[in-house]
């Protein structure tokens, strides 16, 4: 016999009230005044409108940088082993070098293969005496996967700091990223931020070479010319003294009423920065962002505190944007916008209207059927169906689920499935009564004997939901989440809440027959 202990009743009532409480924001008209911890379900792009961007990771630029770095390593290795070479150059497809001596060429191939994992060194066309060094297919694929994965993480950090609510950011294919921004009708500012790789580095200015000399070709191989962000050009040492990967924080501050960007290095970066500024007092240090010199101040004294300031003609917005880019990290490759779509808020409102209308029709049909089929017990079931809907919305609000159109389909499906367990229980009660059991025993057996069937049937649906969530993406995951939440809440209401109401009615009414 089911015992209505006070503790059990309080737990069930507390769960129901909590679900209703957290579902309330979904029916409040002015949601802007609600506290952050008490918010409605987030609406996806297809329900509230917004923007969708399809980005392509420009892998050619990554491969060029990789091969440029490899070129320096090849040069250093050949010099260390005193192998004479000519015409060393790199492209996105690899590094080529001419070595006339046959024996030295074979020796060089063995040495160069060991420079990095996945490298291969082969002979070029016959008679050219070339050695071609590049990465094998597996290494290139691993690099692409790593770059795209890293880009997704950095894009997510940049967009999250903008305050965009529940963006959807995921890989698509081998080199593309899909970004969906619910509620954002004009994504221009987002595109600007995503269009910057934000590769920051610090280079010493080559004081021995003027820009005019560099233009005439009188420039060292260790130096290069860079454009300034505010015009002009600079001759800087190619190799950075400190890289942007050593930055740990960047914030906007003010000096003499002007916005500047304060930055801080990690321990390694702080030590390098201190050593460089100590050894080059009086010289200029170029601060470079995306191959443009932001500023090139003189080093007045050693900076050993691991922090510094970037000055320039910043507005508050541009300083904030720069600080955000530096905090989120540098993109490993430029991103190109391949496709941009905007979903109007009106279209989203129509989707919500149609979804809600379909839910009401489905709910009304379920309620009417249960009353006609099971009378008083059907009314109790209808109460649990409404409660189940409130619990679903409450749980989705608590965990911050993003509701999409397929998610509404999951809710409608769950409404229909919410009465399955009750039907199994009530039909079992009928069978027990027909077999001569008392009303009390029929109710008890109805719940206990149907319990295993209910768990088995819902468990298979949960497995299907888990598979959809694991292998699916975007709308498919939204459907899986709402379906899973609905199954769990319907099991709770069917097994506990319905039984609580039936037992309470029996204790008070002491019926002589079941209202089935």
Per the model's pLDDT, the better-predicted residue between 163 and 422 turns out to be: 422
Give the residue among 461, 462, 428, 470 at the shortest CA–CA distance from 445: 428
Q: Domain with 188 in it: what CATH number?
A: 3.30.1360.200
Domain-located, residue 289: yes
Domain assignment of residue 395, yes or no = yes
Q: What is the pLDDT of residues 296-324, one digit of tens each?
A: 888 888 888 888 887 777 888 888 888 87
pLDDT digits (tens, 9 = 90+) for 48-103: 778 889 999 998 888 888 888 888 889 989 999 999 999 999 888 899 999 988 88
Q: In terms of domains, do 76 and 21 share one? A: no
Buried b (16+ CB within 10 A) or exposed e, 496-513: bbbbbbbbebeeeeeeee
Does 516 score more than 90 pLDDT? no
Both tokens of 300, joined, read 């007045």
**355 or 79, greater pLDDT:** 79
Q: Is the same domain home to 236 and 371? A: no
pLDDT value for 264: 87
Average pLDDT over residues 175-183: 86
Contact 182, 166 (CB under 8 A): yes
Q: Is residue 442 part of a domain?
A: yes
Same domain as 403, residue 353: yes
Residue 163 predicted with pLDDT over 60:
no
Nearest residue to 418 via CA among 458, 452, 456, 447: 458
The reply to whether 167 falls in a domain is yes
CB-based contacts of 244, cutoff 8 Å, min separation 6: 198, 199, 200, 201, 326, 330
Let me know if residue 429 belongs to a domain.
yes
Asked if 128 and 158 sit in the same domain, the reply is no
Q: How confident is the model at residue 1 (pLDDT cuts 50, 70, 90)?
A: very low
191 HSE (CA, 13 A, CB side): 17
pLDDT at 255 over 90: no
For the stretch 111-135, pLDDT in tens is 999 888 889 988 887 778 899 999 9
Regarding whether 35 and 72 lie in a shared domain, the answer is no
- Do 174 and 101 lie in a common domain? no
Show which of 85, 117, 140 is a domain's final residue: 140
Residue 463 confidence (pLDDT): 93
Range of the domain at 85: 59-140
Residue 261 φ/ψ, nearest 5 degrees: -115, 115
- Both 375 and 226 in one domain: the answer is no
Same domain, 132 and 167: no
Joined together, the tokens standing for residue 342 give: 């905007």
Is residue 353 predicted with pLDDT exceeding 60?
Answer: yes
**pLDDT higher than threshold 90 for residue 21:** yes
Q: Is 241 helix (H, G, I), strand (E, B) or coil?
A: coil
* pLDDT tier, 165 (very low <50, low <70, confident <90, very high otherwise): low
What pTM, to 2 d.p., does this model score? 0.63
Same domain, yes or no, for 232 and 178?
Answer: yes
Whether residues 113 and 172 share a domain: the answer is no
pLDDT in tens, 449-473: 888 888 888 899 999 999 988 887 7
For residue 17, what is the domain's CATH number?
A: 1.20.1640.10
Q: How far is CA 251 from CA 264, 285, 401, in A?
A: 9, 20, 31
Tell me what percent of the residues of the chain surpass a pLDDT of 70.
97
Mean of the pLDDT values across residues 248-263? 86
Tell whether the model's pLDDT for residue 22 goes beyond 90: yes
Domain count, the chain: 3
349 lies in the same domain as 331: no
For position 64, what pLDDT does the model report?
87
Tell me: pLDDT of 181 over 80: yes
Per-residue pLDDT reduced to its tens digit, 429-455: 989 888 888 888 888 888 888 888 888
What is the average per-residue pLDDT within 104-109?
90
- At 206 the pLDDT is 93
pLDDT at 407 over 90: no
- CATH number, residue 123: 3.30.1240
Q: Are residues 84 and 189 in the same domain?
A: no
* 514 located within any domain: no
Query: Domain boundary residue among 140, 162, 186?
Result: 140
Q: Per-residue confidence at 203, pLDDT binned at 50, 70, 90? A: very high
* Residue 327 belongs to some domain of the structure: yes
Q: How confident is the model at residue 389 (pLDDT cuts 50, 70, 90)?
A: very high
Q: Which of 84, 118, 140 is the last residue of a domain?
A: 140
Cα–Cα distance, 97 to 86 (Å, whole number) = 6
427, part of any domain = yes
């Amino acid at each position: 016999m089911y015992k209505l202990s006070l503790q059990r009743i309080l737990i069930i009532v507390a769960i129901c009230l909590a679900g209703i409480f957290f579902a309330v924001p979904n029916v409040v008209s002015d949601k802007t005044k609600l506290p952050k911890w008490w918010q409605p379900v987030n609406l996806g792009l297809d329900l509230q409108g917004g923007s969708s961007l399809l980005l392509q990771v420009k892998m050619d630029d990554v491969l060029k940088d990789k091969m440029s770095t490899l070129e320096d390593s090849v040069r250093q290795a050949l010099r260390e082993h005193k192998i004479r070479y000519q015409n060393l150059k790199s492209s996105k497809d690899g590094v080529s070098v001419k070595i006339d001596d046959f024996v030295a060429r074979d020796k060089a191939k063995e040495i160069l293969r060991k420079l990095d994992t996945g490298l291969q060194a082969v002979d070029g066309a016959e008679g050219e005496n070339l050695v071609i060094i590049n990465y094998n297919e597996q290494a290139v694929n691993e690099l692409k996967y790593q770059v795209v994965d890293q880009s997704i993480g950095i894009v997510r950090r940049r967009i999250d700091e903008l305050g965009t609510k529940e963006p959807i950011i995921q890989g698509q294919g081998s080199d593309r990223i899909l970004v969906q921004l619910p509620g954002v009708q004009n994504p221009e500012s987002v595109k600007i931020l995503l269009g910057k790789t934000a590769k920051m580095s610090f280079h010493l200015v080559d004081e021995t070479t003027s820009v005019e000399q560099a233009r005439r070709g009188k420039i060292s191989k260790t130096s290069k010319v860079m454009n300034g962000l505010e015009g002009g050009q600079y001759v800087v040492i190619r190799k950075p003294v400190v890289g942007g990967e050593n930055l740990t924080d960047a914030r906007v501050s003010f000096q003499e009423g002007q916005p500047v960007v304060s930055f801080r290095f990690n321990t390694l970066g702080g030590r390098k920065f201190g050593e460089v500024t100590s050894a080059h007092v009086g010289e200029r240090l170029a601060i470079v962002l995306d191959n443009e010199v932001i500023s090139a101040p003189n080093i007045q004294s050693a900076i050993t505190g691991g922090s510094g300031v970037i000055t320039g003609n910043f507005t508050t917005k541009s300083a904030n944007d720069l600080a955000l880019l530096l905090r989120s990290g540098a993109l490993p490759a430029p991103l190109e916008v391949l496709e941009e779509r905007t979903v109007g808020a009106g279209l989203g409102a129509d989707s919500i209207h149609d979804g809600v209308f379909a839910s009401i029709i489905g709910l009304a049909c379920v309620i009417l059927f249960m009353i006609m089929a099971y009378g008083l017990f059907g009314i109790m079931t209808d109460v649990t169906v409404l409660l189940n809907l409130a619990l679903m919305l409450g749980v989705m609000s608590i965990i911050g689920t993003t509701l999409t159109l397929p998610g509404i389909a999951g809710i409608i499906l769950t409404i229909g499935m919410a009465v399955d367990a009750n039907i199994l229980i009530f039909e079992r009660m009928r069978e027990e009564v027909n077999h001569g059991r008392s009303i009390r025993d029929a109710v008890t057996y109805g719940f206990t004997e149907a319990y295993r069937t209910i768990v088995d049937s819902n468990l298979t649906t949960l497995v299907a939901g888990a598979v959809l969530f694991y292998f699916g993406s975007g709308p498919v995951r939204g459907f899986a989440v709402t379906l899973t939440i609905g199954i769990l809440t319907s099991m709770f209401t069917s097994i506990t809440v319905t039984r609580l109401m039936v037992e309470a009615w029996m204790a008070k009414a002491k019926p002589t027959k079941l209202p089935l």
